[in-house]
Structure 1
Amino acid sequence: MTEERKAVEMTDEELKQFEAFKEEQAARKAKEQAKRDREAYKELVDETIEGAIPLLHDLSQGIKETKLAILNDFRSVINMKAEVLKLKKDGQRTDTFTNSAGDKRITVGYYETDGYRDTVEDGIAIVKEYIEGLADNKKTKALVKMVLRLLARNAQGTLKASRIVQLRKIAEESEDERFMEGVQIIEEAYQPAISKQFIRAEVKNDNGAWIAIPLGMTEA
């Protein structure tokens, strides 16, 4: 059955109104389609996240358990290393072990963050007392500015140990006993904390170069 087409005569005004009506309908349909697309997108995001999170959780737990097992295994190795080689275990942050063939090695260790006991505040007070008592001239103003910069805390509210080393040099150059006493109290208050333990595994490639085994989500 053939659809019958009929011609409709319109005035310019009627044609203008009809075109506006069609545009309005098209805009409404586009808006409705865009809304459906957004809803479909949100549903896809939710569905994908719900599927990925359990997998990533299992992966994270697996990495945690594997890391703990390896660290425990190497703890025995580190203890034997200290006994056999008559080494002091204190203060060493990393240990590297290479196999007999020389083509595989593992490094285990930990990172430290700077930390201080409460007595650090006494040392800081003594240092500030010293610099506040200096004569007011161009040379001492520069010294005061430098010392205050070295005593500035980081975003975590902690003094940087590397800056205290610089402060020690300034105190020694000043030859002022009170200044050096304050710096010594700060140094003695230093109490670093272990932040994270790490494992690095490497193998040699055909060219004899060490290649790290990717162990993180970024490196894999």
Structure 2
Amino acid sequence: MTQTISLQDLTPEQRQQLLQEAKNEEKTAKEKRANDLKALDELATESVPASMQKLIEASKILEQAKGEVFNNFMELLKMKANTIGIKTNQQSHTITAGKQSIKLGYRVTDGYGDNAAYGIAMIHKFLESLGSDAATKKIMNVVFRLLQRNGNGDLDSKKVIQLKQIADRDFPDTDFSRGVEIIQEEYKPKLSRWFIEAYQTDGTGIERNIPLSITSVDLPKDIDLTFLLPTD
């Protein structure tokens, strides 16, 4: 059983000794934290450069492989264009041989010209002229959500198509529909990146993708990082 000691029972010298011990413990703890932080900085200084070099090398290898793969299929794609034709809006091509497939192409992100703002303003003005009854407010809320811009400040082309459907169904030949037409005319998609995807069918008949990004690649099985995971 732990015995409780009251400060009132201690002599001034004993109190002074306890205070000094507490100060010494606090000082020791601060020094340990400082040393631990210094050790962390030293470990980072030791680990970051070597790891960064390894990642730079991996990035260069992927870049080189990407270029070589596109070059490998350059003649095939030209022949495909001449033989069966390639649609101008076809963004990807899949080439298959046996159980292996490679898909390559480009991705685009949505983009709209400056005049799209006039179309948006026209839609807003039209909706404000409808009144403020419950049904109108419901439509306005839907339309305003569809007109929200993404993190890059652009409209979502899929949502603009939904706007067009609403305009054609509920507000044909109005400033609403004309505003949507202005927005659609200002659609200017932007090339995002060239990509390569690879797949192969395993012995069980399941098609599996080949990881080509460092995020997609599995860690080696002998690396255990479970200590970083939540314990609950």
What TM-score, normalized by structure 1, do the two folds share? 0.80
CA distance in 1 between counterparts of 2:20 and 2:114 reads: 77
Whichever residue aligns with residue 40 of structure 2, its letter is Y
Structure 2 unmatched runs, 5+: 1-10, 218-232
Query: CA offsets, 1:153-193, max 9 Å, x none?
Result: 12221111111111111111222343322211111111111
Residue 169 (structure 1) aligned to one of 159, 165, 172:
165
Question: Equivalent residue for 1:107?
Answer: 103
Say if 1:61 and 1:137 are closer, same or farther in 2 by CA, change over 3 A.
Answer: same
The answer to whether residue 112 in structure 2 is matched with residue 116 in structure 1 is yes
Say if 1:209 and 1:18 are closer, same or farther in 2 by CA, change over 3 A.
Answer: same
Note if contact 2:200-2:207 (Cα within 8 Å) is conserved in structure 1: yes
The answer to whether residue 94 in structure 2 is matched with residue 96 in structure 1 is yes
Say if 1:21 and 1:181 are closer, same or farther in 2 by CA, change over 3 A.
Answer: closer
Question: Equivalent residue for 1:204?
Answer: 201
The answer to whether residue 78 in structure 2 is matched with residue 79 in structure 1 is yes
| Residue 116 of structure 1: how far off its partner (Å) | 0.9
CA distance in 2 between counterparts of 1:74 and 1:20 reads: 79
Is the deviation greater in 193-202 or in 73-82?
73-82
Residue 149 (structure 2) aligned to one of 132, 149, 153:
153
Number of residue pairs the alignment of both structures matches: 206
The answer to whether residue 187 in structure 2 is matched with residue 190 in structure 1 is yes
Structure 1 unmatched runs, 5+: 1-11
CA distance in 1 between counterparts of 2:161 and 2:176 reads: 14
Say if 1:134 and 1:45 are closer, same or farther in 2 by CA, change over 3 A.
Answer: same
SS in 2 for 1:158: coil
| Residue 14 of structure 1: how far off its partner (Å) | 7.5
Question: Equivalent residue for 2:62?
Answer: 63
Residue 126 (structure 1) aligned to one of 102, 122, 125:
122
Whichever residue aligns with residue 158 of structure 1, its letter is D
Question: Equivalent residue for 1:42?
Answer: 41
CA distance in 2 between counterparts of 1:113 and 1:17 reads: 71
Note if contact 2:109-2:192 (Cα within 8 Å) is conserved in structure 1: yes
CA distance in 2 between counterparts of 1:130 and 1:28 reads: 71
CA-based RMSD: 2.6
Query: CA offsets, 1:28-66, max 9 Å, x none?
Result: 556545543432332122101121111111111221222
What TM-score, normalized by structure 2, do the two folds share? 0.76
SS in 1 for 2:121: helix
SS in 2 for 1:198: strand
Whichever residue aligns with residue 144 of structure 2, its letter is L
Say if 1:142 and 1:21 are closer, same or farther in 2 by CA, change over 3 A.
Answer: closer
| Residue 120 of structure 1: how far off its partner (Å) | 1.2
Who wins on radius of gyration, i.e. which is larger?
1
CA distance in 1 between counterparts of 2:95 and 2:69 reads: 13
Query: CA offsets, 1:121-177, max 9 Å, x none?
Result: 222222223222224433223223322222221222111111111111111122234
Whichever residue aligns with residue 38 of structure 1, its letter is L
Note if contact 2:80-2:86 (Cα within 8 Å) is conserved in structure 1: no
Say if 1:54 and 1:131 are closer, same or farther in 2 by CA, change over 3 A.
Answer: same
SS in 2 for 1:40: helix
Whichever residue aligns with residue 95 of structure 1, its letter is H
